[in-house]
Chains A and B, each alone.
Chain A
Amino acid sequence: MSTPDQHGRVNARVPRLLALTGAAALTLTAGFATPLDPAPRQAAAADGDKVLTVAVAQSVDSLSPFLAARLVSTSIHRLMYEYLINYDPKDNHAVPGLATRWEPSPDKLTWTYTIRTDSKWSDGRQATAEDAAWTFNKMMTDDDAATANGSFVTNFEKVTAPSPTQLVVRLKKPQATMAALDVPIVPRHVWEKVDDFSEFNNDKSFPVVGNGPYILTDYKPDSYVRLKPNKTFWRGAPKFDELVFKYYKDGDAAVAALQKGEVSFVSNLTPAQAASLKTQDDIRVNDAPGRRFYALATNPGARARNGQKFGDGHPSLLDERVRHALFMAVDRKTVIDKVFQGHAVEGEGYIPPRFSTYFWEPSDGQTLAYDPAKAAQLLDQAGYKKNGDGKRLGKDGKPINYRILCHATDPNDKAIGQYLQEWWGELGIGVTLNCLDNVSDPWLAGTYDLAFDGWSVNPDPDFVLSIHTCAALPATPKDTGATDNFICDKQYDDLYAKQLAEYDPAKRADIVKQMESRLYDLGYMNVMAYPNAVEAYRTDQIKSITTMPEKAGNIMGQDGYWSWWSAVPADSGGSSDSSGSTGVVVGAVAGAAVLVGAGVFFALRRRATAEDRE
């Protein structure tokens, strides 16, 4: 399951997923003043209902599990539908979900899942193996239904349900990820009536029939998503009376709402926000190792599976020495200290250290550590010499200038871009930051040299590994492939096939590490950091909540429904008045600034002849 976050690209189709989207204009005032809440929600204790309100920044792309790919949507699907197998919140090992047992046949090609008998759909019908078989078969036969999770079923030959409690999957080739099928199972009797899966967004009739810990009861695009607890959920009903995901396009507005007690939970905090929230009463800041990596991806010369080349990546980047030199001219330590201000771990291999089974570090001789002198030497060796002005010349005799694709909505991209400009400037290489709200067009067309990239990694790393295989390349330049940045390497592909067919966990982990090593040596993906999940919640509204992993884990965007399912409301419930004097000070200062600005505007407007008001 692709669960890319703000740095990720969703199946390379919906590339930009963070908070402030193109309509940033609307946040002009929100940035200064306290956010005005057009439809004030009642605080938790107002009418006796315990409401858990979560501030989210990402828009829902679709509520149909067959289409949704954004982190916020897939997180909601985890709450609405039970998956076959879940991950343990303590250590990520596979635990029963809708299936209670699963085992392969001796020839490794047939998997049998035993479906539980105590899971009911919210309309009273029993959830059976037939529902699961129908879901998989639909994805295998209807291309539109395969949009989001099609990669899971490409290797399926046949899926049947011999009895209501037995699901049998026949594979074409052995597949090690059969205990990590992150596919929501939908009720057949409801979804059978859908004609066109590419159009149906599952957001017309409420409540939506499901069997997860929560039932979706209401949804308004870019406004809110409302869920009620499923009282008959087999693992036990959630404790809150309602769960609301509420939209805050502006991070500061969400933090202000948290300070006032309007929301219970905020994620994606900046270092400054985290530092100031830490000093406030009734607010707990959760700063835990994250599950994603943050990287600088190089364009290796975009091409399609049919061999056709396209795009206009800089030819010098095809030289491994140049890529290594660029690698060595990035001081990852400074990135962690200054940009993330300690809220991240220095990047090394492809998979974050949180997934210790698959975490890999380069050996001493292999490490491309920060060493500008050696980087300059490498560039000289590669034949990219400096001219009289101190600029390095490409093979075409023109000074080298790399275009870096950056997300206009991500402050980290812009901040690191400024560092790169100075670090690489010392090497004699020019950098143009190309910050766009929507990076997908140049990304898919391959018209960039380097790009800021990032993916959330699942407990099973198959998906993030698969996006660098040749098979993920687009079929023709006109198509959209699952590929991340057009990497295609024979050695890597061989290893990928090997790990997928390896059922022994230790051996598989070893092959995955070899893949990471190969990826590192190629120098196409410079993993700079593993950003922490920096989140905060009100302790006077949420008494306890499960993080994943339990020790030092995140709350938002887990591989499972643990956080929102386990959240226990605080006794007092209501929000306190002591929302911190800082907020008041800021309000006053911001108010003063607005007043001064308003004065100027007023002066301008008084001018009788000026009809055009800026």
Chain B
Amino acid sequence: MTTETKGVTAGPRALAWQRRRRSAVRFWQQYRTHRAGLAGLAGLAFFALLALTAPLTVGSDVSSVTGAPGRPMESPSGEFPLGTDQFGRNLLGLVVWGSRVSLLVGLLAAALSVAIGALVGITAGHFKGAYATVLMRITDWFLVMPTLVLAIALATVMSRSLGTVVLAIGVTSWPTTARLVRAQTLAVESRPYIERAKALGGGHWHIMSRHVLPNVMPLVLAQTTLMISSSILAEATLAFLGLGDPTVVSWGGLLQDAREAGAVSSGNWWYLVPPGIAIAVVALAFTLCGRAVESVLNPRLGVAR
């Protein structure tokens, strides 16, 4: 897409593409200077690759209980590098396969959360007045509610499925994003060119979608990246508390299985540690990336680092 014909005769679309490519290059050059961000990116690339290639490397058969190859709770060996679980399934395979669910739920929940947050934030910042007051009081209410308790309550009353977990995390973690986006929207809307756009007849939708959204987008992007790591942790927490779908293999679910099988007191560390470390590493990777992106996009933060 970015193959660009050079020359002064390029149209407005080509110019826009040129501008975007330049800013992407500039972004990457600045991002490269954050070593932690690079490490996070490498971790993400690794786990993304692991999750995407899992059907080829381990296959869905790894989660089959009737076709489990080993004896229950075998310790690590040549055949099973991370041992086996309570059904005799290969734990290495399960951790790899579980990455798909954990990452998927993390991404979807974060997307949902940020989408709600951005919508609430932009409309509240744009319309102001009674509408904004009501909306922000609702936001405040969600903000002071303990997120985990609310998510547990939601996951308990709804049927056990992945969709439920995504929904439970998504609808409870959006208030921070909403407040951030609203603040940024207010800042953007006070700029003169918004007034100019209004004078030229730009309606609400035009202003919100064409002027405000592109300006809050960097903030939303950084917020999403950070939200993913907390969503993955929340997913693991809910699954660990037994609120996930028990037939789906995920990292939190593996920890829950391990706890229920008594792996903690019987010293079967290989059942607990790999999924625990996987959760920690992925959450860390997303956090590192998110902070790097944030400091690149927000010059005021960049100085401090």
A positions within 8 Å CB-CB of B? 20, 22, 24-25, 28, 31-32, 250-252, 255-256, 259, 269-273, 275-277, 334, 338, 341, 406, 408-409, 411, 414-415, 417-419, 421-423, 433-435, 437, 582-583, 585-586, 589-590, 592-593, 596-597, 599-600, 603-604, 607, 609-612, 614
Complex contact B73–A272 (CB within 8 A):
yes
Which of B242, B264, B267 lies in contact with A24, CB distance below 8 A?
B242
Q: What separation, in Å, do the CA atoms of A409 and B242 have in the docked complex? A: 8
Which residues on the A side are within 8 Å of B176 (C-beta)?
A: 609-612
**Pick the contact of B173 from A32, A251, A419, A612 — CB < 8 Å?**
A612
Q: Which candidate, B121-129, B185-193, B232-240, is the interface stretch facing chain A? A: B232-240
A434: chain B residues at CB < 8 Å are 159-160
Q: Are the CB atoms of B264 and A408 closer together than 8 Å?
A: no
**How far does the alpha carbon of A585 sit from the alpha carbon of B229 in the complex, in Å?**
29
Identity of the chain A residue whose Cβ is nearest the Cβ of B230 in the assembled complex: A614
Cβ B266 vs Cβ A614 within 8 A:
no
- Do B66 and A423 have beta carbons less than 8 Å apart? yes
Asked if A422 meets B284 with Cβ closer than 8 Å, knowing A415-B86, A437-B156, the reply is no
Q: Which residues of A contact B68 (CB under 8 A)?
A: 338
Q: Is the CB of A607 within 8 A of B291?
A: yes
Contact across chains for A590 and B280 when beta carbons are under 8 A apart? no
Q: Does B143 contact A (CB under 8 A)?
A: yes
Interface of B is mostly: helix
Interface pick from B9-17, B96-104, B198-206, B269-277: B269-277
Contacts of B226 in A (CB 8 A): 604, 607, 610
Do B266 and A276 have beta carbons less than 8 Å apart? Answer: yes
Contact flag A31-B264 (CB < 8 Å), given A418-B65, A593-B276, A596-B276:
yes
Q: List 6 interface pairs A-B (beta carbons < 8 Å), by A numbering.
A: A20-B242, A28-B240, A276-B267, A418-B247, A599-B284, A600-B280
Q: Is there an interface contact between A604 and B230, defined as CB atoms closer than 8 Å?
A: yes
Residues of A within 8 A of B276 (CB): 593, 596-597
CB of B259 closer than 8 Å to a CB of A: yes
CB-based contact B277/A433 at 8 Å: no
Contact status of A25 and B241, CB under 8 A, knowing A422-B65, A435-B246: yes
Q: Which residues of B contact A (CB under 8 A)?
A: 64-66, 68, 72-73, 86-88, 143, 147-149, 152, 156, 159-160, 173, 175-176, 179-180, 226, 229-230, 233-234, 237, 240-242, 245-247, 255, 257, 259-269, 272-273, 276-277, 279-280, 283-284, 287-288, 291
Q: Is the CB of B65 within 8 A of A251?
A: no
Q: Which of B246, B279, B288 has the most CB of A within 10 A?
A: B246
State the main secondary structure of chain A at its contact with B. Answer: helix
Least CB distance, B147 to chain A, in whole angstroms: 6
Closest 5 CB pairs between A and B? A276-B266, A270-B262, A273-B262, A255-B265, A411-B260
Residues of A within 8 A of B241 (CB): 24-25, 28
| B259 adjacent to A338 (CB under 8 Å) | no
User: With A and B bound together, what is the CA distance between A601 and B56 in angstroms?
Assistant: 33
Docked-complex contact B259 and A31, CB < 8 angstroms: yes
Q: Other CB < 8 Å A-B pairs besides A256-B264, A612-B175, 12 of them? A: A24-B242, A256-B265, A259-B265, A271-B262, A272-B73, A338-B65, A415-B87, A433-B247, A435-B160, A590-B272, A593-B276, A600-B229
CB distance from B163 to the nearest CB of A (A): 13
Q: How far is the CA of A17 from the CA of B291 in the complex (A)?
A: 47
Knowing A417-B246, A589-B273, A612-B173 touch, does A433 contact B160 (C-beta < 8 A)? Answer: yes
* B81 → chain A closest CB, angstroms: 17
Q: Do residues B272 and A603 form an inter-chain contact, with CB atoms below 8 A?
A: no
B287 nearest in chain A by CB position: A603
Q: Is the CB of A612 within 8 A of B266?
A: no
Q: How far is the CA of A219 from the CA of B159 in the complex (A)?
A: 37
Q: Closest residue to B229 on the A side, CB-wise?
A: A604
- Chain A's closest residue to B245 (CB) is A433
In angstroms, Cα B287 to Cα A259, docked, is 39
Q: Which of A433, A437, A614 has the most CB of B within 10 A?
A: A614
Evaluate whether A593 and B277 lie within 8 angstroms (CB atoms) in the complex, with A418-B246, A437-B156 already known: yes
In Å, the complex CA distance between A31 and B159 comes to 25
Q: Which residues of chain B come closer than 8 Å to A259, judged between CB atoms?
A: 265
Q: Determine how close the nearest CB of chain A comes to the CB of B165; give it in whole angstroms.
A: 14
CB-CB under 8 A for A586 and B287, given A270-B260, A611-B143: no
Given contacts A411-B261, A586-B264, A593-B273, contact A419 B65 (CB under 8 A): yes
Contact yes or no, A600 B152, CB < 8 A: no
Whether A585 and B267, one on each chain, are in contact in the complex, defined by CB atoms closer than 8 angstroms, is yes
Q: How far is the CB of A150 from chain B (nearest CB, A)?
A: 33
Are B233 and A600 within 8 A (Cβ)?
Answer: yes
Question: What A residues does B86 contact at CB under 8 A?
Answer: 271-272, 411, 415
Q: Is the CB of B280 within 8 A of A597?
A: yes
Chain B residues whose CB sits within 8 angstroms of the CB of A585 once the complex forms: 267, 269
User: Given the interface contacts A582-B267, A599-B284, A612-B143, does A251 sit within 8 Å of B233 by beta carbon?
Assistant: no
Name the A residues within 8 Å of B262 (CB-CB). 251-252, 255, 269-273
Please determine whether A612 and B147 come into contact, CB atoms closer than 8 angstroms.
Answer: yes
Q: Is the CB of B148 within 8 A of A25?
A: yes
Give complex CA distance A121, B241 in Å. 46
Q: Are A422 and B265 in contact (CB under 8 A)?
A: no
The residue of chain B having its C-beta at the shortest distance from the C-beta of A585 within the complex is: B267
Nearest Cβ distance between residue B187 and chain A, in whole angstroms?
A: 14
CB distance from B18 to the nearest CB of A (A): 33
Q: Is the CB of B72 within 8 A of A271?
A: yes
